[in-house]
Structures are given as structure tokens and as C-alpha cells.
Amino acid sequence: MDQRAISDYGFLSDCRSGALVGRNGSIDWWCPDRFDSPSVFGRLLDPHAGHWRLAPVAVGLPGHRVERAYRRDTLVLRTVHHAPEGSVAVTDALAAEIGARGHQLGMNSPAVLLRVVEGLSGRVRMGLDFRPRPDHGLLTPYLHDQPDGSVRAVAGAVELTLRADGLPLHAERDRVRQEFEVSAGQVIGFDLAYGRTYGDPPVRLDPTTALAETMWAWEALREVHRYEGRHAELVRHSATVLTGLTYARSGAVAAALTTSLPERIGGDRNYDYRYSWLRDFAMTMRALWVAACPDEASRLFAWVARSIGRVGDDPVPVLFGLEGERDISEHEVPHLRGFLDSRPVRFGNDAWRQRQLDVPGEVISAVWQLRDYLGGSFGEELREMTLGLTEQVAGTWRLPDRGMWETRDADRHYLSSKVLCWSAMSRAVELAPRLGERADPRRWAAIRDEIRAAVLREGWNEEIGAFTGAFGSRELDASVLYLPVVNFLPATDPRMRSTIAVLERELGTEEGLLRRWNTDPAGFLLCSFWLVECLVLAGERRRAEELFERVVTHANDVGLFSEQVDLATGAQLGNTPQALSHIGLINAAWRLTDPTTE
């Protein structure tokens, strides 16, 4: 079973979909229609669910060595294979539309995988193994040799065409498997184009020309990503990853590229993250504002306003599909074995049905962050959304909920949810002059103060010396680090200082990682970056800097973070690349830079 570690994968994107390519040269995940569509390569979740390997035949043998890196400020990945007989480079990308630049990237992506092989020294024997399995491995396509030397694969609604420059390809029933040699200076380009069986045929691109165009399209974003603070290279790379997780047609940011990568190997907390969470919204907005530009942030904001629509009595869904779809019901997929046999594999995510009271607060906080950019008075949709969310919080904040970690057991009065309810009312009071005659800042302020008093009274545990995860609970939860981040309580407050110390002692590790709670077997990267922010806000900038530098070492060799890190092995866990981990890095780096926190 040739299944790689999560950290072995590099991320390719055309801002429509994404692919994962392993150090061994195998593309093991690609959902070509859009991020949350069915895969044509799914070996990530099952060894028989499809892949496309392109690498020296010596991969994995003694004497073979791999180096890889992204071309700067792009998601174009160059992998150099050093084999006993010579060296060869394979450059992988998802093609941009010809002529696309900057924010046009992804608007009309052609859904073409590009792989360009370049001989560097000696004469290297390469192996190609193309085995598509559409519809998450359920379909075995017919493969047909074409007169031009390409191979056409058709199954169900999917049509794929694989071509190579000057290298005729031949199908063996349900796969293409052949070897060829590459000499120093020789270049062979491959393109794999996706199309719909009953729609437009796959696009034909010249691989080397399309690769150059794709690099130019990514590099054009450098002009608008102008962050110049601390850890600039890391921040720019994380901003590029966030751009790669953005579905360009709507502006929505997918929480991750993948589904069902486990929080624990062999465990069942395996969820589909290929959607956009409103909870992530304020943090995403802040990160895009810091590391990108207002245009990207405002496009995401427009998507949220349209997706939420007119607010009624029903809770606002926690997450949406990439074009604002509301019903993304979850189902299990028994035919897939799961990553390292971690079952079940799930498509869809039933968290959209949960009541999570922090969500309106995240959205209103984002409106508040963008208040000056949005103008002195809001348009009807923005005004109605903000008023509706505020009134929803006013009427529901006393209820229990499932919390930001989306527990699937009982509702509780989670502290972080109450704090975000406070944030919603606090920001709404400040926004009231822009919300028209229906704004009621006096009543909102009274509710704000009532929530604050409840949090301070019910959330603090004197015996433990810390704020705990839920009212009346003794269980620690790293989500309480959000209190200083949203300005509920200064990090210098004695109760907050004590909380930080307790969390570091009970949930922290020598590697700089922070678990979410006592029974969590893995370090949660976002929480670790929250701790960096809290230390800065508490005046411990040197310790914060040291912690930041330890946490970022848990990225893989091409700077990608998944969701968590196994404390026993150091292995990455959870869906990847994880937007919140990269958002946490950006926001922590800015906190280390921001002179107002001195």
C-alpha cells in the first residue's frame, strides 16, 4: 500500500480546485471541477481510488534523493530527483487561464494539470503510471489511444485527456503505464485536461507555455501582497496558500483542500473541510487585510452577505458551500478505506445544522473590522444582515450550543461562544450610526454588559485559577485564549495572566504546541498561534517570538500546515493544507510586528 504521510504532500491550486502531489511524484488527490467536487485521483483516501505518478523509476531505492520548493510567491512546485544515473526536475502546477493576472487567477481556470519534466544531468529513466478513478474511485474509465498520441479516459460525467510533448502514450486497459528516458537539457511537457462528458471537451494547452503563464499569473499577486512586517517570507507564503484555497468565482475560502484526513490515525473524527466556515470569517478577513489587500477581503465579505441572505429566526448556518449552498448534508462512504485505514470517510458536513452562537459575532466583528472601508452608511443588504444577526444574538445568547470545536455530544454554555456574543453586541453598538433607524444601541449595550458579567461570573474557576471551557466546568480549553484576541479582557488582567500560565502548564508541550483540551492527543496549530498573540498582548514579546519560531518548524518541507501535530511522532494530522493554521501564522506574525502592542 503506497500511501504517503500527510506532510509528504505539496499543494497545487488554480483557485477553482486543488491537487496534492507527493514527494514520490504521485498526484493522489484532485477534484477537478471545484474543491468540493468528486475526485478523479483519490489514493489519498484509498490505494485503489486513482493516482498519476511521474518520477524516476528509482524513487524509493537507495541512492535516490528528493529536493523540492515552490517557485517564489506561487503554488508552482518544482521537485528535483537525484538518482544514481543523474538528476531530473518535475515542475507541477494547475494551469491558470492564459493571460490571467492578479485577482483574475481562477475566474476561468481551464482545469488542466501541468507536469513538465526537465533533464538536469545524466540520463534518467522515468516511470509514468496514470490510473484515473472518477467519482471518488467508484468508476473505472474506458481509456482510448488517440491518433495524436494522447489518451482519452471517459467514465460517467468525466472526460480526461492526457498528452505528452513528443512522447506517444498507450493505454493498457484501465491505465497508462510506461517508461521513458530523459537526458540533460531535454524537456518533456505533460498536460492532463478535465472536461464534462456531455459538455465542452477538455482544453488543449501547450504545457511549457501554460506553465510560464501560470507562474506569471501567481507572481502578479506579489504586487498586491505587500506585507513588510516580521517573518515576511512566511507570511507571504501563507497568504499564497490562502489565495490557493480561495474559490475565485465567489471569493469563498475553503477551510482545507481535503476531506476525512484524521485527527488521530485510526480514529473516527474524520470530517469534510472543503467548505467555507463563517467562524473562520473574522480571522480570515484580518489575515487577508494584513497580508493581501482590501480587494480580496471585500470579495470574501460580499460572498458572506449573499450566502447568509435575509436573517430570520433560524440560526445562521455555521458553514456554506463555495457558492453559498446551505444544505451540505453529511454521508459516510464505506467503499473508501480512509487514510491509513482511518474510517469513516465522510463527504458533506453536518455541522451546518448545529447551533453555534459564536458565528454571528464573527461576522459582525468582520463588519466592524471593515467599517471604514465599507463607508459611513451601509447598503440595504449589509445593514439588514448586521441588524438581523445582532437581534439574533440578543435573543439567543443565553442558550447552550455546540461551541467552536463543533462537538457532537451535548450542548453546553461554551465560554468562547458567550464571548463572541459579547463581541457581536459590542461591535453592533459601535456600528449603530451606520445601521439606520432600527438600530437600538442603548438596549444592545445593556445586553453586552449582561453577557460580560455572566462570562466573568460563570466562566472563571477560582480553584483552578483559569477561565474554563464552559460555564461551571473544570475542563480547560485553549479557546479561552480568544478573550484577549477579541479585546474582551486584556492579556495583562491578573485572571488572564493566570489562565495563560495554567494553559501553558497543562496543555502546552516543549515543542511549542498547545492542545485544545486535556484529552486531546495532538497539538492544535491555531491555538499555538493564539498563545503567541496572547504573550505579545501580555508584554512578553521575547517569549512570544521564541514560541512562534518553534511552532513554525512544524510546517512540512514546502511550508504547509495541516490542522494538528501528533505529540508522540511529530506527524501532521487532519485536513491539509489547513486555512486556519496559515491564518493563525499571519495574525501572530502581525501581532509581533504591530507597534501598538508595545
The HSE-up count of residue 312 (CA atoms within 13 Å, CB side) is 3
One domain, residues 83 and 94: yes
Predicted pLDDT at 28: 98
Boundary residue ending a domain (222, 250, 285)? 222
Last residue of a domain, one of 165, 193, 222: 222
Q: Are residues 156 and 263 in the same domain?
A: no
* Cα gap 260→336, rounded to integer Å: 10
Tens digit of each residue's pLDDT (9 = 90 or more) over 159-169: 999 999 999 99
Whether residue 400 is contained in a domain is answered as yes
Domain total in the chain: 2
Confidence (pLDDT) at 91: 98
**In whole angstroms, what is the distance from residue 57 CA to residue 181 CA?**
10
CATH number of the domain at 81, please.
2.70.98
Q: Quick check: bond before 141 cis, omega within 30?
A: no
pLDDT at 289: 74
Domain-embedded: residue 1: no
pLDDT for 283 equals: 81
Considering the domain architecture, whether residues 205 and 351 belong to the same structural domain is answered as no
Q: What is the model's pLDDT at position 1?
A: 42
569 CB burial (10 A radius; 0-12, 13-18, 19+): exposed
Based on the fold, state whether residues 188 and 205 are members of the same structural domain: yes
241 within domain boundaries? yes
Low-confidence stretches of the chain (pLDDT beneath 50):
1
Q: Kindly report the number of other CB atoms within 10 A of residue 327's CB atom.
A: 10
370, 285 contact by CB (below 8 A): yes
Instruction: Tell me, yes or no, whether 295 and 323 share the same domain.
Output: yes
Q: What is the CATH number of the domain that holds 282?
A: 1.50.10.10
**Residues 492 and 561 both lie in one domain:** yes
Same domain membership, residue 112 and residue 43: yes
Residues with Cβ < 8 Å from 553, sequence gap 6 or more?
Answer: 511
- Identify whether the C-beta of residue 158 lies closer than 8 Å to the C-beta of residue 134: yes
Enclosing domain of residue 29 = 6-222
Q: What's the confidence (pLDDT) of residue 293?
A: 62
Residue 534 exposure: Cα atoms within 13 Å on the Cβ side: 27
* Same domain membership, residue 186 and residue 256: no
- Tell if the pTM clears 0.85, that is, is over it: yes
CA atoms of 548 and 558, how far apart (whole Å): 18
Judge if 393 and 355 occupy the same domain: yes
* pLDDT at res. 102: 66
